[in-house]
Structure 1
Amino acid sequence: MIPSPSTNAATMQRPALAPVINTLVSPKGMTKFIPGLSKIVRHHGSLDPVLGRLGSLEVRLATTTKEIRKAQKLRFKVFFKEMSAAPNGASLISRRDVDEYDALCDHLLVLDHDAKKRFGKQKPKVVGTYRLLRQEVADSHSGFYTAGEYDIAPLIKAHPSLRFLELGRSCVLKAYRNKRTVELLWQGIWNYVQHHRIDVMIGCASLEGTDPKELALPLSFLHHYAAPPTGWHAAALPERFTAMDILPKEEVDPKAALHALPPLIKGYLRLGASFGRGAVIDHQFGTTDVLVILPVTAISPRYVGHFSAAANRQAA
């Protein structure tokens, strides 16, 4: 998503791959303890849980409760210790970022196999994660997390033949926020999207801060320059709606606005994403959220080619 990532940002929700996001932080969701999580064992059918490898790093889908708990611990470290999110009682006690969606979602992990040895054994370390929720799973349970902030029902209803995938809860350990890690995450996402024949990716992406006036430039840019095409509109829920057109279009400097956007959102833009109408203030996480809408058909052919090449190398 971003041609040349830096490594000093710590903002979010959302790819060598020509596109690269240099930092992933998407602290989305509620924070409830999940009693049934201890019984989770993931089976991914014909999809190999290992989706890619680059040097000592491996991207894979979690298959055990232990792996999911490691992802939750990473999320807690990034969202609550590094950033300004305020944990509730359950998270404070467990030192994990948990919610009821964890039991429904697939969890994408990046592992470092060169992590320090413990007790004479090599112990892979979870250094990155992304949470994936397919439409059929969401429909049969609690729906998409995004529906708690945006009215996405009309959007989904307008495309009954398309399969939606929600991306969220993404983060990367600070020392690993670089091109290699994010390249691997997106190789994993692309393999997953291809296997499950996903047509559209959606999710909440975040800008740090809860004062829209301080975010006037990037929010106004997204409103004026990255609105969805006809048939792809979705808006924030009325009770959570915050206007994004704070500045008139003629006062928006696109170059300055792009510089002010979190790397992840810039990455989505370069892939071809558009953004829903209205932002949502999340005071618990100290962020202002925007809705990302990314049909697979909107992704630039050059990126598709790069993704596919990575997938083919993995298959070989």
Structure 2
Amino acid sequence: MGGETAILGRIGDLETRLACTQAEIDAAQAVRFEVFAKEMGAVLPPESMRKGRDMDAFDAVCDHLLVIDRSIVGSSEEQIVGTYRLLRQEVARANDGFYSTSEFAIADMLARHPEKRFLELGRSCVLPKYRTRRTVELLWQGNWAYSLEHGIDAMFGCASMPGVQPEAHALPLSFLYHNCLATGSWAVSARPELYNNMDLMPKEAVDTRSAISAMPPLLKGYLRLGAMVGDGAVIDRAFGTTDVMVVLPISKISDRYLNYYGADASRFAS
């Protein structure tokens, strides 16, 4: 890595692009540590806690999408306010597979689509003052431009809700189960030994507006685009979260968002 990399999107002072130096990846890991460990209380491995970085072996093979605030005085490393980790299928296949396999049984879904190219999204985080719809939109624009560039057919990844008691999220989990469950060739489940039931309330008891309001912004963003979810929630005790698997085939992205983001991804790059 080295040198400049293309801007994938820009809104005001914020822009999104891939990290192009090891120093920028290190800074993204520091942002992740700030959010996951300091804010959310994640219990990370000893080396991560010592260095103040959320890091693992996948960082070396993933691409790192950044949101940068150009209004911050300083280096690009000091301007990083959000990040997303991107892992293409061919890269996963050449290394240690996908991160999500530790929680979800994704192999069957991948095998049903041998002709499609998958992209795993993970480790999404944004610093508190930047948690606006604009920043989420910019991250999505970066994912979209990256997917177009690499011929991606479907995105997937874990979306997290705070806490390790699925019952505390009965309303949104039940809404997802009754309305957004991936079926047919896109069906995917939590690993059997980690499976937690999402069907916690009868469908008629679930108020749609309240359920969506109770979801984290990232998950709402997935659903707006037309995403589906896998069956079964997984408790991640290290990160203190309840995770669901999100699946988003490019062909399922609603037309109004395809029109909005643009088939050539140029809308946000000007």
- Structure 2 length as normaliser, TM-score? 0.94
DSSP-derived class of the 2:210 partner: helix
- Residue among 102, 120, 132 paired with 1:178: 132
User: Structure 1 residues 149 and 230, CA, compared in 2 at 3 Å: closer, same or farther?
Assistant: same
Task: Give the whole-Å Cα distance in 1 for the aligned partners of 2:134 and 2:268.
Answer: 15
Pair 1:49 & 2:6 matched: yes
DSSP-derived class of the 2:97 partner: coil
Please show how residues 75-154 of structure 1 align to structure 2 within 5 Å: 75-117=32-74, 125-154=79-108
- Residue among 206, 220, 240 paired with 2:194: 240
Pair 1:308 & 2:262 matched: yes
Residue identity opposite 1:155 in structure 2: M
Q: CA RMSD in A?
A: 2.0
**Partner in structure 2 of residue 197 of structure 1:** 151
CA deviation profile, 1:135-178 (whole Å, cap 9, x unmatched) = 00001111111111111001010011111000010111111122
User: Structure 1 residues 161 and 123, CA, compared in 2 at 3 Å: closer, same or farther?
Assistant: closer
Structure 1 residues 153-162 or 170-179, which shifts more? 170-179
DSSP-derived class of the 2:266 partner: helix
Pair 1:73 & 2:30 matched: yes
Decide whether the 8 Å contact of 1:49 with 1:62 is kept in 2.
no
CA deviation profile, 1:50-84 (whole Å, cap 9, x unmatched) = 22233322211111110100000000001111112
More helix by share: 2
Q: Which has the higher contact order (CA 8 A, sep 6+)?
A: 1
Pair 1:167 & 2:121 matched: yes
Residue identity opposite 2:130 in structure 1: Y
User: Structure 1 residues 195 and 310, CA, compared in 2 at 3 Å: closer, same or farther?
Assistant: closer
**Gaps in structure 2 of 5+ consecutive residues:** none
Residue identity opposite 2:18 in structure 1: L
Decide whether the 8 Å contact of 1:114 with 1:124 is kept in 2.
no
Task: Give the whole-Å Cα distance in 1 for the aligned partners of 2:240 and 2:255.
Answer: 36
Pair 1:271 & 2:225 matched: yes
Shift, 1:42, TM fit: 6.1
Shift, 1:266, TM fit: 1.6
DSSP-derived class of the 2:182 partner: coil
User: Structure 1 residues 148 and 136, CA, compared in 2 at 3 Å: closer, same or farther?
Assistant: same
> Taking every aligned residue pair, what percent have the same amino acid on both sides?
53
Task: Give the whole-Å Cα distance in 1 for the aligned partners of 2:213 and 2:152.
Answer: 31
DSSP-derived class of the 1:311 partner: coil
Shift, 1:210, TM fit: 0.8
Residue identity opposite 2:21 in structure 1: T
